[in-house]
Structures are given as C-alpha cells and as structure tokens.
Amino acid sequence: MSKKLFGTDGVRGRANTWPMTAEMALKLGAAAGRYFRRDGSAAHRVVIGKDTRLSGYMLENSLTAGLTSTGMNVLLVGPVPTPGVGFLTRSMRADLGVMISASHNPHEDNGIKFFGPDGFKLSDEAEAEIEAMVEGEIQLAEARMIGRAKRIEDGRGRYQEFVKTSFPAGLRLDGLKVVVDCANGAAYRAAPEVLWELGAEVIPVGVTPNGTNINENCGSTHPQTAAEAVITHGADLGIALDGDADRVMILDENGMVADGDQFMALLASRWAADGRLKGGALVATVMSNLGLERFLEAKGLRLERTAVGDRYVVERMRSGGFNLGGEQSGHIVMTDYATTGDGLAAALQFLAEMARSGQKASELTHQFETVPQLLKNVRYTAGAQPLEDARVKAVIQASEKRINGKGRLLIRKSGTEPLIRVMAECIDAALLTEVVDEIAATLASAG
C-alpha cells in the first residue's frame, strides 16, 4: 500500500491536529506493538524518548497506552537525543524504539519516529505494515498480558557515557572554550555535561526549555545566537544542535558557520588518511555541493549521492558497507558509533581534530571552494499540486536549458512540511539568482 501517515522521517505534523493527535498516537502505538508482538510471546519491550516539546507529554502517554494495550512493556527515558533512543534500543535489548520529536521544526509541530531492535529506523516496508494495521482492527492483548510501563532514570546518563566512547582515548579538551547551543531541546543537559567531562570550558546556550521555546531563535537553524556567544566569550568553537540533536552546525572562532558539506569533507579526508574510511567513499544527498564532489575526487575518493533524507543516506551506507555519510543540513552519520545522525558525536569528532592538529576551527572548516548554490523554500497550500501547474513546468524546463553545462537544478517537495525546495548550483552567480527567483515566484503564484 502507499504510505499516507509516514513521511521521510516518521509521522509528523502540527500537534493536536491529524495525524499528531492523542488518538492517532494511541493507534500507532497499538499497531507498532502488534507488529512487534506477532509471535504472541510476552518478553517484548519498547524504549520511548522525547525532546522538550509541550505536546511530548500527550503523545508519550498515548503511545504508552497503545503499546501496553498490545502487551508491550514500555521503558520511558524522558528527554534524550534521537541517537540516544537508537543506542538505548539496542543496549536494553528492546524490540522497538520510539522518539517523539519534530527535530528542527517549531514547538507547535511534533513527530513520531520508530527504530527497530538494531537501533536503525524502520524500513519503508515495516512502516507500511504498521500503517495498514492502523487502518484496520488491532488485536489487543488479553487482560493478563497487558504491558507495564517503567521510567528509566539513567537513560540520558547511559547515552552520555556511550557517546564519549566516540572521542579518542587519551585526548582531552583542556584549554578549549566551547559554546554549545542545545536549541532548548533534547540535548540541553547531555551536550554541556559531556563537553565539560572531556575537559572543555563550556558556554551553554539554549539550555532552558519551557515546552514552547525549542528551536526558537537558537540551535542549528538559527546559528546567529551561537555566533554571538562565540564572539562575546572569545570562544574557540561553536556547536549548534537542533531540537533532537541529530544534526549539528559548527561555527569557527569568528562566528562563521560551516555547513555539513565542509564538515563531511574534513572527516572523509582525515578518515581516509587514517585508513578508517570504508569503501573509499562518502555518502551524501543530491543537495551536497558540487565542490564537495570535486574535493573528494582530487583525493581519490567517491561521493555516493542519495535522495534527500538521512534515512536514505543510512540505507545506502548499510547496503554499500560505508561508514560515513550525511547531509548538508548537518546530519552526520557515523555508523561506527551510531545508527542515525548524532550531532554531539559528530561535534566530538571535530573537536578531536582540533585537539590533535592544533589548528583553529576556521582552518578546519574550510576544506574546499564551493560552487555558488542557492536554495529557496516555497510554501504551498495543503492539497495543492504546484509542480503539476503548466506554468511551473514551463519555467523549470526553460531554466534547465539556461543552466545546462554551468551547473545543476534540483526541485523537490519537502518530506516533512508543505514546502517546495528550489535549489540550483551555477558557476555564474547572477544566472543562479535569476533562475531560482523565477522558479520560486512561479511556484508561489501556483500554490
């Protein structure tokens, strides 16, 4: 069946509207519980983590009710980064992991992500089966088989100890002053504590969540806040995480932001030099800059491109046996350490390079010259199909001809929001702006 509930990263939407309602969370929990209890045995458990959104309480309770109604035992770990749920699912020998988060979206939104017993996000096929169960009658457990719920108080601490194992033994962060912006999200305690334990002088930002300020003028989507803190405190580095801490932006000592492409270039080249880069390739999406591809080729490495979405990056990494991948937006996936993007673990890799090399952040964040790239997001009315509009098709076709041989054009729907993303790269900066502006304006008039 074609999926309706699940997008590119679980189920997501505005809290208290379909599909992010208590009723739907109850059904999803029951369906997921039934999916993982098809053999009828009793020894099944699920880990549930969340970020700091107000609606997380509602969805956590509803998911717990649905899961226990089908006989699943629920382990509640509270606010913890998304990669922490992947880790804890494996560590606690659970059959299922659930993260309640809408990542970088505003607090009004929320989402539900499912992880399998291996700590990786569920496949499209598994999600489709769960969705089919939601639409049908879900077989509930007998009264004596109803599951239990238990709060795990040290889940965050377990994740913190684990993530520190990604930092090289024998290295410390003594003498480094680090700003860490936690976006008032899931890592608001974990990230500052880990950095301090490794020896850094920590300037915490975005660590006072109140349920409605997650990602609000802070975090990886608003790095200006971290940049100001870096300058004010004379820090050596800024780390900006998003609401569920599965992505990161690095800021140098001047407050300048390096995107995920520069970060991945650094890791790929250093790992290759150390003989750690499996398959001689980095996995990234179609959004990554052409400059990254040229940088890797010059070092005898490959760039394996996928569709947009960290799940597709992970799928290609697993199928090809690669261990490093990510997105320009700051999802850095290192399967030697984590099953999904881990902003804190990635930041520790960058800090390790600073400690080892003695170089400034500004030296490490500039690995290659980018090809001019421009991205515009065009919001459209729910239910509209602006990409099917004849005017839009015509302007896209004409733009492709204009840019041919000088760059590339990529237009796609967002998998998490009602947005059309218009991205182009072109060695002619003026032409680049003209093309993107024209397509965006036409889309806006059609949507």
Q: Tens digit of pLDDT for each residue in 3-24?
A: 589 987 899 999 999 999 999 9
Say if residue 225 is in the same domain as residue 263: no
Short-list 122, 144, 120, 136, CA closest to 30: 136
* Domain co-membership, 212 together with 307: no
Q: Are 428 and 373 in contact (CB under 8 A)?
A: no
As beta bridge partners, residue 353 has none
Report the CATH number at residue 93. 3.40.120.10
**Cβ burial, residue 17 (10 Å; 0-12/13-18/19+):** exposed
Q: Are residues 132 and 145 in the same domain?
A: yes
> In one letter, which amino acid is 296?
L
Neighbouring residues of 429: CB distance < 8 A, sequence distance ≥ 6: 372
Question: At residue 315, what is the residue type?
Answer: E
For residue 306, give its domain range.
259-343
3-state secondary structure of 392: helix
How many domains does the chain divide into? Answer: 4
Q: Of the listed 62, 101, 103, 399, which one is catalytic?
A: 103
CA 25 from centre of chain? 21
Please give the average per-residue pLDDT across 72-94, as a whole number. Answer: 97
- Residues 229, 332, single domain; the answer is no
Overall average pLDDT of the 53-59 stretch: 98
> In CATH, what number is assigned to the domain containing residue 413?
3.30.310.50
**Whether residues 114 and 137 fall in one domain:** yes
Looking at residue 311, its pLDDT comes to 87
The three-class DSSP label of residue 184 is coil
Residue 445 known to be catalytic: no
Beta strand spans in 182-280 (E): 201-205, 237-241, 248-251, 257-258
Boundary of a domain, candidates 291, 324, 343: 343
DSSP letters, 323-375, are -EEE-TTS-EEETTT-SS--HHHHHHHHHHHHHHH---HHHHS--SPPPPEEE
When pLDDT is averaged across residues 282-308 and rounded to a whole number, the result is: 95
Tracing tokens 């020894």 back to the chain, one arrives at: 43
Write down the residue that tokens 């490959």 correspond to: 302
Q: What's at 419, amino acid-wise?
A: L
Q: Is residue 135 in a domain?
A: yes
What phi and psi, each to the nearest 5 degrees, are found at residue 165? -70, -15
Helix axis angle for 429-446 and 390-403, nearest 10°, is 170
> Would you say residue 168 lies in a domain?
no
Residue 361 lies in a domain: no
The three-state secondary structure class of 148 is coil
Question: Contact, 79 vs 52, CB < 8 A?
Answer: yes
Confidence of residue 39 (pLDDT cuts 50, 70, 90): low
Q: Considering only 38-47, 121-130, 167-176, 430-439, which range has the smallest mean pLDDT?
A: 38-47
The residues facing 11 across adjacent strands are 112
CA 87 to CA 188: how far, in whole Å?
18
| Same-domain pairing of 68 and 122 | yes
Beta strand pairing call for 177-181 and 237-241: parallel
For the cut 90, the answer to whether the pLDDT of residue 2 exceeds it is no
The residues, ordered by sequence, that sit 6+ positions from 368 with a Cβ below 8 Å of its Cβ are 262, 265, 291, 292, 294, 295
203-229 confidence digits (pLDDT tens): 999 999 999 999 999 999 999 999 999
Give the model confidence (pLDDT) of 95-144 as tens digits.
999 999 999 999 999 999 999 999 999 988 999 999 999 999 999 999 99
**Domain assignment present for 4:** no
For residue 198, is pLDDT > 80?
yes
Strand partners for 19: none
For residues 21 and 143, membership in a common domain is answered with yes
Q: Do residues 437 and 389 share a domain?
A: yes
CA distances from 279 to 87, 297, 333, 362, 396 (A): 24, 14, 15, 29, 36
Bridge pairing between strands 302-306 and 281-285: parallel
Q: Is residue 251 domain-shared with residue 263, that is, in the same domain? A: no
| 99 CB neighbour count, 10 Å cutoff | 31
Residues 217 and 140 in one domain: no
The pTM assigned to this predicted structure is 0.88
Judge contact between 171 and 355, C-beta under 8 A: yes
Is-contact 283 317, C-beta < 8 A?
A: yes
Domain boundary (233, 256, 279) is at 256
Kindly state whether residues 379 and 287 are assigned to the same domain. no
Calculate the average pLDDT of the chain. 94
Last residue of a domain, one of 256, 279, 299: 256
Residue 8 burial class via C-beta count within 10 angstroms: exposed 0-12, middle 13-18, buried 19 and up: middle
Is residue 224 assigned to a domain?
yes
Structural domain includes residue 367: no
Lowest mean pLDDT among 122-126, 181-185, 349-353, 416-420: 416-420
Q: At residue 436, what is the residue type?
A: V
Clarify whether residues 206 and 241 are in a common domain: yes
Alpha-carbon span 85 to 296, nearest angstrom = 32
Cα 147 from Cα 149, distance rounded (Å): 7
Q: Is residue 136 part of a domain?
A: yes
169, part of any domain: no
